Structure 1
Amino acid sequence: MNEVTTLFTLVTVHVIALMSPGPDFALVVQNAGRYGRQTGIAIALGLSLGILLHSILSLTGASLLIHQQPTLFALLQAAGGLYLLWLGIGAVRSVLMPIFRPTAHTETVTAPQRIIANRKQALVKGFTTNILNPKALVFFISLLSTIVPVDMSTSGKITAIAILWITSFLWFAMLAWLLTGKRLQQKIQQWTPYIDGICGVLFVTIGSMILLNLLVAR
């Protein structure tokens, strides 16, 4: 398989994976329509930078070394699971608090807005969500070790890394852009509690499964 075919196969598999619902997808959906286009694109950039780092670590063999160190990989899994759990609890809490404590509604809405509206913090949130996801680490180890041959040229590997990063950013930025159209954004504002609730449950479920699998494995 020549390098062009390898790169085409790589980007095809990666795009399919990007479209699959997961923490990255949910983070964009949850925040872009609610907090604006710039925030959504900042999150997209953060997510793509996390994927860029995963790609570099995987192609240089660093991710494989982490995966082969049980204690280090367990710590990464625990950190990722706890972080996703924290995101999920925060999202579910923002939905439930106005129901049980109506007087706190204004505070629970405006405080997260002030936090996420900062583009720098949105970028960090996107990057952290991706880089701390242990499933992403395993995915890129499997993807790159299976598709990219060991003897691939340095320029070919650099191209592969660039393609993965650019494709990731374009996908999440496009998703953020679509979600912040005027008509759709108005509807999303109405659906915000449901979106937050669904994304919160997703984060809690994935985070809990990571931690549960970690405990069972130990």
Structure 2
Amino acid sequence: MLVDVLTWATVMAIPGPDIVAIGTQTSRYGQRAGFWTALGAMLGVATWSVLALLGIEALLHVVPALSVVLPLAGSVALMLLGAFGLWGSVKAAKGTSKSTEEQEVASVAARTAGASVRLGYVTNISNPKALVFFTSFFTPMMSHYDGLAEKLSMLGLLLGVTLLVFSAMSVLIQVAAKTQLRNIPGLQYLPGIIFLGIGLFYFVETLVK
């Protein structure tokens, strides 16, 4: 069990779309927004986990087209997140005709718990690699545990570890955001570019398989 938990924690800490989303919210809106984004990403992990336990792999064997359609849809979602992120960064850099009060309202809306949770959830659930991970790694790992109660207990532990890892990443990013790194020109465009790049890469990779 310990080996499974440590392996899981290591995988969750690998930089990817989830970490980018958490980092974006943390650096822009603070630690609380980062935590809510981490919670949303964890809920995405929970969704994939439940689908894996219910037998999504068997469904893919019955309907093979889903193994292509789902990753493509996820790739498009990531690219859209990147495009919206870049658009927001460009508008912020250029300045808009909004009044200071309107900008403050928009900023507060972006920091709400609901918005951050949704961002984390959509980012995780749209990751094309999640389908591969949960069918090739999570499902075999859970086969080590017998009975529904044991599997659910292990799942609860893994989800707790996931939230802990994601939250720890938000803390580290918040610390980094307070350094001179935040003054690097063009840094605000990086999350959007990363999302676009990852989404495009996965999209092409899925098509050429």
TM-score normalised according to structure 1 size: 0.80
Within a 5 Å distance, the mapping from 1:40-55 to structure 2 comes to: 40-55=34-49
Q: Do structure 1's residue 210 and structure 2's residue 209 form an aligned pair? A: no
CA shift, 1:146, in A, is 2.8
Q: Do structure 1's residue 162 and structure 2's residue 153 form an aligned pair? A: no
Question: How many aligned residue pairs are there?
Answer: 206
Tell me the amino acid that sits aligned with residue 67 of structure 1. L
Of residues 74, 82, 99, the one that matches 1:80 is 74
**Gapped runs of 5+ residues in structure 2?**
none
CA shift, 1:51, in A, is 0.6
Q: Do structure 1's residue 93 and structure 2's residue 87 form an aligned pair? A: yes
- Deviations along 1:129-176, whole A, 9 cap, x unmatched? 111212112101111233232662222211221122101111111222
Compared with structure 1, are the counterparts of its residues 193 and 136 closer, same or farther at alpha carbon in structure 2 (3 Å cutoff)? farther
Q: Do structure 1's residue 201 and structure 2's residue 193 form an aligned pair? A: yes
**Gapped runs of 5+ residues in structure 1?**
1-6
Q: Report what 2:15 is aligned to.
A: 21
Kept in 2: contact 1:34–1:192 (CA 8 A): no
Tell me the amino acid that sits aligned with residue 57 of structure 1. L
Q: Report what 2:113 is aligned to.
A: 119
- Give the aligned CA root-mean-square deviation in angstroms: 2.9
Kept in 2: contact 1:95–1:193 (CA 8 A): no
Kept in 2: contact 1:33–1:189 (CA 8 A): no
Of residues 38, 41, 58, the one that matches 1:65 is 58
Mapped to 1, the partners of 2:83 and 2:185 lie a distance apart of: 14
Compared with structure 1, are the counterparts of its residues 94 and 191 closer, same or farther at alpha carbon in structure 2 (3 Å cutoff)? farther
Mapped to 1, the partners of 2:177 and 2:164 lie a distance apart of: 20
Compared with structure 1, are the counterparts of its residues 132 and 111 closer, same or farther at alpha carbon in structure 2 (3 Å cutoff)? farther
- State percent identity of aligned pairs: 25
Kept in 1: contact 2:75–2:202 (CA 8 A): yes
Compared with structure 1, are the counterparts of its residues 53 and 27 closer, same or farther at alpha carbon in structure 2 (3 Å cutoff)? same
Tell me the amino acid that sits aligned with residue 171 of structure 2. W
Of residues 122, 130, 148, the one that matches 2:142 is 148
Mapped to 1, the partners of 2:16 and 2:51 lie a distance apart of: 21
TM-score normalised according to structure 2 size: 0.83
Question: What secondary structure is seen at the aligned counterpart in 2 of 1:104?
Answer: coil
Kept in 2: contact 1:34–1:188 (CA 8 A): no
